[in-house]
């Protein structure tokens, strides 16, 4: 039977993240969205507060908290700015987790400590122009010559792509072995031949930076291989299981932010002689929005709790992401509707939340991929 613990520490994390989001993230959110400006100072402050390595043990520079704490902080921050949410999610789930789980002590000292303490930022490079959902089809190659690995290829859709310092990069080291020939490398941004491209001009999460990365004979020493050679694809998949809990929480934050905006607005806006919150047409919407949000939150807390208990959570993470991303789009759309014409202009923020919500159905595994993951887990259990 599933049971979870939600204690004082979790409430404290929620309050800290909420205060931080209100005081530091909210004031410039519209401007950053318009200009597609990376929130460099905000990210630095998140590092100081311990939000960038939340689940990393303190001995390696992290906050030593559980996954439930992480999803709470992710929700609070994404409620105000989903762009900041994804920066945080990628660093925590896709970068720090792999280094902590598979890194040697020397790799943890060199790479994990600065990433978990927020001195450096990380990125995760799996997707390629021809390897998105079908992630086993890696075209980036790594060849071993004279004691070094040389990586060449192209990575796509890389969150934190132009701003990161440390990159987790997957490459084919033995094509014959297909996905069992994929290896994971840790690459410093300043390595010659490693070239982040220009930032993508996106529909949403506009202040998070996304770009392609070209690799031309990038020389990487063998000590920068993460985990065993040939086990890279498994590391990517396991990282993404946790990543999906992070993105689900980002989606939940967007939905909660849009719902709160709609609720506030409905109490202020008058039509037919009274606040629109008194009209059943609006009440029906608010009731449905709040129910969907609560259901998403419970799915996320279940997945996070299983992860904290070191139990399998692949299906639950995929369910949480699939559902939370779906309701984020629905709730944000309804929030725009509740606002009427005002919902269509920037100042009221819900139009941004709608634009931001869409990506949660696409990255870290599309909704279609989540259904495949869920179905496979269901069939395995038979």
- Min dist CB 123 to ligand CAA, Å, is 7
- Angle 232-268/280-308 helices, nearest 10 degrees? 150
Return d(Cα 223, Cα 186) in angstroms, integer: 9
Interior angle at CA 196, CA 140 and CA 204, nearest 5: 105
Identify whether the C-beta of residue 322 lies closer than 8 Å to the C-beta of residue 370.
yes
- Min dist CB 349 to ligand CAA, Å, is 23
- Min dist CB 276 to ligand CAA, Å, is 37
Q: Interface with ligand CAA includes 322 (CB under 6 A)?
A: no
- Min dist CB 375 to ligand CAA, Å, is 10
- Angle 8-20/67-80 helices, nearest 10 degrees? 30
| Residue 364 known to be catalytic | yes
Identify whether the C-beta of residue 57 lies closer than 8 Å to the C-beta of residue 64.
yes
Q: Interface with ligand CAA includes 256 (CB under 6 A)?
A: no
Half-sphere exposure of 76 (CA within 13 A, CB side): 23
CB atoms within 10 A of CB 189: 17
Q: Which of 16, 28, 136, 367 binds ligand CAA (CB under 6 A)?
A: 136
Nearest CB to ligand CAA, comparing residues 184 and 350? 184
Nearest CB to ligand CAA, comparing residues 73 and 289? 73
CB atoms within 10 A of CB 37: 14
Window 16-75: residues binding ligand CAA (CB under 6 A) = none
Task: State the DSSP code for 311.
Answer: -
Q: Interface with ligand CAA includes 373 (CB under 6 A)?
A: yes
Q: Which of 240, 245, 248, 329 binds ligand CAA (CB under 6 A)?
A: 240
Three-state DSSP state, 18: helix
Stretch that binds ligand CAA, among 58-66, 286-294, 300-308, 369-377 (CB under 6 A): 369-377
Q: Interface with ligand CAA includes 157 (CB under 6 A)?
A: yes
Return d(Cα 305, Cα 309) in angstroms, integer: 6
Tell me the C-alpha to C-alpha distance, in Å, between residue 308 and each of 40, 180, 182, 236.
30, 28, 28, 19
Half-sphere exposure of 192 (CA within 13 A, CB side): 2
Chain centroid to Cα 369, Å, comes to 16
Q: Interface with ligand CAA includes 119 (CB under 6 A)?
A: no
Stretch that binds ligand CAA, among 139-147, 218-226, 327-335, 366-374 (CB under 6 A): 366-374
Q: Interface with ligand CAA includes 167 (CB under 6 A)?
A: no
**Would you state the structure tokens that stand for residue 123, as one six-digit string?**
């990125």
Window 80-109: residues binding ligand CAA (CB under 6 A) = 90
Return d(Cα 103, Cα 179) in angstroms, integer: 21
Q: Which of 119, 152, 162, 234 binds ligand CAA (CB under 6 A)?
A: 234
Q: Interface with ligand CAA includes 159 (CB under 6 A)?
A: yes
In the shown chain, the binding pattern of residues 178 to 197 toward ligand CAA, with x for contact by CB under 6 A and - for none, equals -x------------------
Q: Interface with ligand CAA includes 225 (CB under 6 A)?
A: no
Binding interface with ligand CAA (CB under 6 A): 90, 124, 126-127, 133, 135-136, 157-159, 179, 233-234, 237-238, 240-241, 314, 363-365, 369, 372-373
Catalytic residues: 364
């Amino acid at each position: 039977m599933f049971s979870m613990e939600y204690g004082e520490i979790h409430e404290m994390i929620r309050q800290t993240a909420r205060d931080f989001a209100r005081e530091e993230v909210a004031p410039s959110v519209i401007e950053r969205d318009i200009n597609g400006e990376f929130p460099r100072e905000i990210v630095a402050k998140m590092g100081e507060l311990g939000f960038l390595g939340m689940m990393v043990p303190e001995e390696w520079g992290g906050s030593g908290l559980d996954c439930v704490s992480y999803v709470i902080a992710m929700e609070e921050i994404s409620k105000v700015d989903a762009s900041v949410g994804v920066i945080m999610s990628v660093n925590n789930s896709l970068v720090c987790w792999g280094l902590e789980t598979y890194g040697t002590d020397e790799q943890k000292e060199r790479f994990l400590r600065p990433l978990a303490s927020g001195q450096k930022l990380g990125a995760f490079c799996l997707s390629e122009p021809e390897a998105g959902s079908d992630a086993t089809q890696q075209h980036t190659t790594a060849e071993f010559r004279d004691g070094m690995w040389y990586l060449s290829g192209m990575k796509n859709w890389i969150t934190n792509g132009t701003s990161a310092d440390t990159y987790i990069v997957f490459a084919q080291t033995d094509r014959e072995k297909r996905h069992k020939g994929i290896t994971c490398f840790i690459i410093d941004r300043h390595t010659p031949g490693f070239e982040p491209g220009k930032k993508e001009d996106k529909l949403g999460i506009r202040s998070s930076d996304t770009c392609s990365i070209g690799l031309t004979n990038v020389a990487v020493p063998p000590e920068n291989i993460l985990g065993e050679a040939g086990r890279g694809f498994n590391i990517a998949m396991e990282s993404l299981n946790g990543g999906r809990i992070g993105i689900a929480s980002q989606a939940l934050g967007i939905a909660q932010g849009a719902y709160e905006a709609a609720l506030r607005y409905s109490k202020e806006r008058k039509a037919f002689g009274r606040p629109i919150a008194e009209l059943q047409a609006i009440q029906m919407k608010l009731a449905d929005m709040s129910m969907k949000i609560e259901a998403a939150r419970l799915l996320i807390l279940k997945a996070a709790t299983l992860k904290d208990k070191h139990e399998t959570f692949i299906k639950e993470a995929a369910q949480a992401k699939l559902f939370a991303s779906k309701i984020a789009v629905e709730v944000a759309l309804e929030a725009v509707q509740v606002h009427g014409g005002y919902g269509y202009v920037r100042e009221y923020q819900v139009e941004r939340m709608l634009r931001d919500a869409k990506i949660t159905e696409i990255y870290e595994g599309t909704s279609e991929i989540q259904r495949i993951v869920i179905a496979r887990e269901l069939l395995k259990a038979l």
